[in-house]
Structure formats: C-alpha cells, structure tokens
C-alpha cells in the first residue's frame, strides 16, 4: 500500500509546476510542456514564461515522422527543419537527372513546390493525464503477461476514443517516468507536405564526417517545407517570428523539440548492458554497413546518389555510438551513476519501500534475459537479418492480414485502430525503392544473420534455401511484387486470403520466421519490458520521495522544452568562442585546399564578395538536447527564432546518460546566417521575405 501511495503522489506531483530539483545540474532538463520550470526561470533569469507563451511555442513546434523536429515559421504553413532531417525526402524526390541532395532545391513559386512521399508531420494540441485509467486496468498482483495485455488493451481503447482520421487527429498514450505516469498526447496530423528549399548537402554538412559532432562548425543545415490542407497552403495561427538580430553571448534561449530517447533514469545494470552488449554489437553492425555502402557508392555516381543518405545515417550513428560508449567506459561517469544509485538504495532501505528494494534485482534479472534474447530479437523481430526497404513491407502485409481481424486492443500495438491511418499512409507511399541497392542490403544482412547463427543452423538453412546470401537476396528481391503500391493495396484490402494466395517470395520469407519472431517478441515483452516497467515505476516513486517532484522524465520522442545560455567552452586548455562566421567558413575550406569534405559549392565561391563575412554562422548554447532534437527552433524570450538546432559537440554525446553543461553544447545555425545566405547566395529573396514577415507568402 505504501508503494501505491508513493506512485499516486508522484503522479499528482507531475501535474504541478515548480522549481527544479536541487540534485539536477545547471540548466538541465527536457521538460514537459505541462510541467515547465517557471519558478526556476523566474528566480535565475528573471523571466517567467506565461501559459500563452508556452502554448504558442508548443503549437508552433512540429514533429517529423521520419525522426526529427521542426517549427512553423510563417502563417502560410512554412516549416523549418534541418537539411539532414529532410535528406530522406530529398532523396525520394531525386532521380538520375535531378539530385536534390547534391544540387539543392529552390521552389520560386508555390507551383514549383514538390509533394513529398510518405512524410507525416505532427503538432501537439493537447496533453491529458490518463495514468489512473491505465494503472486501474491492471489489478495488483497480476502476472507480467496478463498485466502487459491489460495495459495494451486499455491504451488502445484510450487512443481509439480520441483519434479521428477524418479530421487528421492522431492520439498516442505516452509512458513517462518509467511507468509512473501515462499521458495522452493528441496531435494534428498533416500529410500533404511539399518541399520548398534545401541548400546543397555539401554546405549543409560542410566538413562531413571529420567535423561531425565537432565545434567550431560551419554548416547551413537547414531545409524548408510547406504544409498544405485541401490543396492550399495551410493557414497557421501559431508560427514563430524571425529575429533579425539573432542572439548574443550570455543570452537565455529556449529549444522546443522532440528528443528521441535518453537513459538517465537507467539503473547501473541497464547501463552495463548498453556498455557491454548493445553498443558494441551496434558498432560492429554499423561498421559493416559503412564499408558496404561506401564501397558500393564508389562504383558509380548513380550508386553514390542512391546510397548517400543511407551512408550519412550510418556514419552519423557510428560516431554517436562511439561517443556514447566512450562515456559509459569513463570511470567518472559510471562512478557518478554508482554513487547516485547507492544513495537511492540506502534511502529505500531506511524507509522500508519493499517494492522499490526488490526492483533493482528484478531489473538485473531482466537484463540477463535481455542478453539471451538480444540476438533473436534483433535479427528476427527487429529485422537486422533482413535489412532492406522491401522486407518490412512484406512483413507488414503478412502481419496486417493476421492482426486486423482481431479486436483493436488484442492486436500488436502498431496495428491498433488509432494507428491505422498513419500505417496505411506509410505503407502505400510510392517512394522509390531501388532493386540493386535493396539486393545489396538484403545480401549483406543475410550474411550477417548466417554469421551470427552459424551456417549449419537449421533456421539459416531454411532461409537461404540452398543458396548463397547473394543468390538468395537476388532471387527474393527480383521475385517480389511488394514494391508495387497497387499490389500492396490489393493484398492489404484483401486480407489473409489475398496474402496467402499471392505466394510472394518475400512475404513467404517473412512467414517462414514469423512464428519465431512473434515468440521472441512475446518473451521479450513479458520477461523483459513488463517486469522492467513495473520495477522502474517503483524506483521512480522512491526517487521522487528522496529528491522531490521537480524533475523531468526521460525523452520519449515527444515534445519537450529545454533552455540554456549562449556560451562557449574550454577544450584542451583552449577557449572555444560561442559563434563562428562566414569568414571562418572560407578560412577552413582554404586550410584544406578546398578538398572534400571541405570543398564549397560553386555558388558559394562565386557569391563570396556579396556576403557580409562577419555574419554569425553557427553558435553553441547549454540547452539540454539529444538525437531527435535535430531541426528544433532556438528562440529568445520573445519567442523569436534566433537559431536552428542541428548537432551537439562530442562532449554532448554522454547526455543520453547524464547532463553536464561544463563542456557539452548544442550546436545551431544562426538566424542571421540563414537570411544572409538565402538573399545573397541563393537569390531566394521571396523565401527570406516570408521568414522576415515582409511578405505573407511567395
């Protein structure tokens, strides 16, 4: 009973607004909009954001379903994000004649704006606490498998009761504080998205992999889209106005975005799993893929165009994982985590919180089971053994035929009624899938699977069907019809009878492992996720009792508010200034003889004399961000855009586990650089006018 009282108190506290807990560090926090740290901001900075200020920033913020953040920046549906967030869409719109990643894109009129394929944007309209409903559906003492099923059912019912596909309303129940709270997030969903502007990737990602996660930086990592409704630019009430003055050193700034995932509340055992199992395995896979994609890209320019976005994603993930692993191998970081957990355990023992005391052992056992299940879960259910664009479609069609006849609450969560609209939108997108690249990916992943299980493994033999991975991949990709959108629609609408009758080789491959994949997923959900969720909720309640309510939950790719100051840092005994400028861009290129990846697009060389080289280009601040924040607007106290988040420095890669603003920094494109480049390099004065508010639309 005492533990249930603690959880109830935690839930009630989450709805409150208060000071930041003293155990946090500096301007730490990825804060819920429903629990913004108003008092702290008022006390430290003399600024207290009003509810109207917060509501405006919330509704101006945008989430990209492809994984990233953005914001409305005009009344006519103009959306700002990073070039690397939009890169996948640039790739989909490109062809052999038009490489928009390489050459950039500029729609001079509305008629020139290009419709994107499978891109969905979400705007958070409302947050509702549904913790009582979700927790009330699980009776005390219920075994893990039944508890997971009951929770899944009530969540599906809550989401279904709110979602409205006809009105473009999406509903997601979000788990917070490790199960200490459940919030219903209601979104406005936009699916008619059109590309407006993108610079060349070479200037958006100037310095390439060598400069990635480094600072100083010189990147114009920006991209603009427009949201349409009923065939016309959407009329947007809440959009961010532009700051022509930008920011200055020491200024308070805010970041509104969608951090993907943090693990700051993980126990030491969970962190050890990441350190010893997950990250090393991920790095091994990423290294294989980087070599594969790099070698294939070198064979022809068309290959390079097709695989460029994939290669960038792999290189970016590889560098991020190296940084994260380095943090976990740092005795100082782990020492802080061990000491923090020791302090919490001593408090739990002193207070007699029995459930919390058992929770650490529960998580330890769950992590051991997770280690045993990791290979099967990753290879079969997470599709590491079948990496390609075609296989997930085949698996989706197979699963849909089996899941959709069930009541919504009994299906796998991704097939719930509230999610069907977005699922079909993605499934029926006509984005290009290149047969040769898909064959390459599938052959490599089948090889990876065979190496992981052993060539004599019966499952491997069944999947390869007496052929080499390369031969089998060619046979499957060449023989499948799932790349045909009309074929997908026919099978999806026809249900199980149509899917079974199709005898599509890739669907049959998915069927061949589906029983094993479902089994390991069920074991993982019931033996790892559910026990960990219950244990983590008990620990969260105890942590609340020790440190108070004035904290924030781990990131969940839902909207959060962060803040900090524009501030440089010290590295290797040298002070790094917070701002770079255009002059520094040209200097860095010259230092490397304008050679790849420090070469400049031709128009940047041609227009150099037109630019004010003292214009601030990139800057750093202490705001608390992580992957997923890419594309987040940086605003001042007036809610005006002063920058655009696109990266963190190397020292920020440990923010997944703990916050430290001594040297960790968020990196942004300066608002002044964006306008200067649009007007003087790209002749995009109409777009600049729309941002400046000088013209409603072009």
pLDDT the model gives residue 543: 86
pLDDT for position 551: 74
pLDDT of residue 21: 53
| pLDDT on residue 545 | 85
In sequence order, what are the residues at sequence separation of 6 or more whose Cβ sits closer than 8 angstroms to the Cβ of residue 500?
401
Task: Give me the pLDDT at residue 87, please.
Answer: 97
In 3-state terms the chain splits into helix, strand, coil percentages (rounded to 5) of 55, 15, 30
- 569: tokens are 């840092």
Taking a C-beta distance cutoff of 8 angstroms, is the pair 353, 256 a contact?
no
Structural domains in the chain plus CATH codes: 2-120+191-263+553-692 (2.40.10.120), 375-533 (no CATH)
pLDDT tens digits along 523-579:
999 999 999 989 998 998 898 888 765 678 999 999 999 999 999 999 999 999 999
> What are the CA-CA distances from residue 493 to residues 397, 398, 402, 407, 619 (Å)?
10, 12, 12, 17, 51
Query: CA nearest 663: which of 25, 207, 209?
Result: 25
Question: Is residue 222 within 8 Å of 199, Cβ to Cβ?
Answer: yes
| Torsion, CA 236, CA 240, CA 242, CA 246, rounded to 10 | -170
Residue 678, Cβ neighbours under 10 Å: how many? Answer: 25
- Is-contact 585 626, C-beta < 8 A? no
Q: ∠ CA(141), CA(142), CA(148), 5° rounding?
A: 140
The token pair at 36 is 């913004």
CA atoms of 180 and 42, how far apart (whole Å): 28
């990147």: which residue's tokens?
Answer: 219
pLDDT digits (tens, 9 = 90+) for 465-515: 999 999 999 999 999 999 999 999 999 999 999 999 999 999 999 999 999
CB 601 within 8 A of CB 202: yes
Ranges of residues in the chain whose predicted pLDDT is under 70? 1-25, 548-550, 696-698
Closest residue by Cα to residue 255 from 691, 672, 668: 668
Instruction: Quote the pLDDT of residue 7.
Output: 57
C-beta separation of 527 from 366 below 8 A? yes
Confirm if 147 and 135 have CB atoms less than 8 A apart.
no
Query: Cβ contacts of residue 487 below 8 Å, gap of 6+?
Result: 481, 502
Distance CA 78, CA 72 (A): 6
């Amino acid at each position: 009973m005492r533990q249930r009282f603690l959880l109830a108190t935690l839930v009630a506290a989450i709805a409150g607004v208060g000071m930041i807990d003293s155990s946090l560090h500096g301007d730490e926090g990825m804060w819920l909009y429903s629990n913004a740290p108003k008092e702290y901001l008022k006390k430290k900075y003399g600024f207290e954001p009003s509810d109207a200020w917060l509501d405006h920033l919330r509704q101006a913020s945008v989430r990209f379903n492809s994984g990233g953040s953005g914001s409305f920046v005009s009344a006519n549906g103009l959306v700002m994000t990073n070039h690397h967030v939009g890169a996948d869409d640039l790739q989909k719109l490109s062809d052999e004649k038009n490489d928009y990643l390489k050459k950039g894109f500029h729609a001079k009129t509305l008629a020139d704006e290009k419709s994107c394929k499978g891109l969905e944007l979400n705007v958070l309209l409302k947050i509702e606490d549904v913790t009582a409903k979700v927790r009330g559906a699980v009776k005390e003492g219920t075994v893990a498998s039944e508890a997971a099923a009951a929770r899944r059912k009530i969540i599906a019912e809550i989401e279904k009761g709110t979602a409205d596909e006809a009105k473009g309303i999406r509903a997601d129940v979000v788990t917070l504080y490790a199960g200490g709270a459940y919030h219903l997030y209601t979104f406005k969903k936009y699916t008619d998205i059109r590309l407006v502007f993108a610079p060349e990737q070479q200037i958006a990602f100037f310095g390439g992999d060598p400069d990635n996660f480094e600072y100083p930086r010189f990147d114009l990592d920006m991209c603009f889209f427009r949201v349409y409704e009923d065939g016309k630019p959407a009329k947007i009430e809440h959009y961010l106005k532009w700051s022509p003055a930008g920011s200055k050193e020491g200024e308070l700034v805010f970041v509104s975005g969608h951090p993907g995932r943090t693990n700051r509340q993980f126990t030491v055992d969970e962190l050890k799993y990441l350190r010893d199992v997950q990250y090393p395995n991920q790095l091994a896979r990423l290294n294989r893929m980087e070599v594969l994609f790099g070698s294939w890209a070198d064979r022809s320019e068309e290959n390079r165009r097709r695989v460029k976005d994939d290669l960038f994603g792999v290189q970016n993930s590889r560098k991020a994982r190296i940084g994260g692993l380095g943090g976990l191998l740092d005795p100082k970081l782990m020492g802080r985590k061990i000491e923090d957990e020791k302090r919490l355990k001593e408090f739990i023992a002193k207070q007699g919180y029995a459930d919390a005391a058992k929770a650490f052992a529960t998580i330890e056992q769950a992590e051991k089971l997770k280690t045993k299940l990791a290979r099967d879960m990753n290879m079969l259910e997470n599709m590491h053994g079948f990496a390609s664009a075609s296989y997930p479609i085949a698996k989706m069609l197979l699963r849909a035929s089996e899941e959709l006849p069930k009541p919504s609450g009994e299906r796998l969560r991704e097939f719930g009624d509230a999610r069907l609209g977005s699922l079909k939108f993605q499934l029926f997108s006509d984005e290009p899938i290149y047969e040769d690249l898909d064959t390459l990916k599938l052959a490599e992943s089948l090889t990876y699977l065979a190496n992981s299980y052993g060539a004599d493994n019966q499952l491997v033999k069944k999947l390869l069907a007496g052929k080499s991975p390369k031969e089998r991949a060619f046979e499957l990709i060449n023989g499948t019809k799932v790349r045909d959108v009309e074929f997908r629609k026919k099978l999806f609408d026809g249900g199980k009878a149509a899917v079974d009758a199709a005898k599509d080789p890739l669907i049959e491959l998915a069927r061949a492992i589906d029983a094993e994949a479902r089994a390991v997923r069920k074991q993982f959900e019931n033996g790892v996720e559910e026990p960990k969720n219950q244990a983590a909720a008990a620990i969260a309640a105890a942590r609340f009792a020790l440190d108070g309510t004035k904290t924030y939950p781990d990131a969940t790719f839902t909207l959060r508010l962060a803040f900090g100051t524009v501030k440089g840092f010290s590295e290797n005994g040298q002070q790094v200034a917070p701002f770079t400028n255009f002059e520094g861009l040209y200097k860095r290129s010259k230092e490397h003889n304008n050679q790849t990846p420090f070469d400049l697009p031709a128009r940047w060389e041609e227009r150099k004399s037109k630019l004010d080289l003292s214009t601030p280009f990139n800057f750093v601040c202490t705001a608390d961000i992580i992957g997923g924040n890419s594309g987040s607007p940086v605003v001042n106290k007036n809610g005006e855009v002063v920058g655009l988040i696109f990266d963190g420095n190397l020292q920020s890669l440990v923010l997944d586990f703990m916050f430290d603003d001594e040297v960790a920094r968020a990196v942004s494109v300066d608002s002044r650089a964006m306008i200067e480049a649009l007007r003087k390099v790209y002749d995009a004065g109409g777009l600049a006018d729309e941002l400046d508010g000088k013209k409603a639309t072009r």
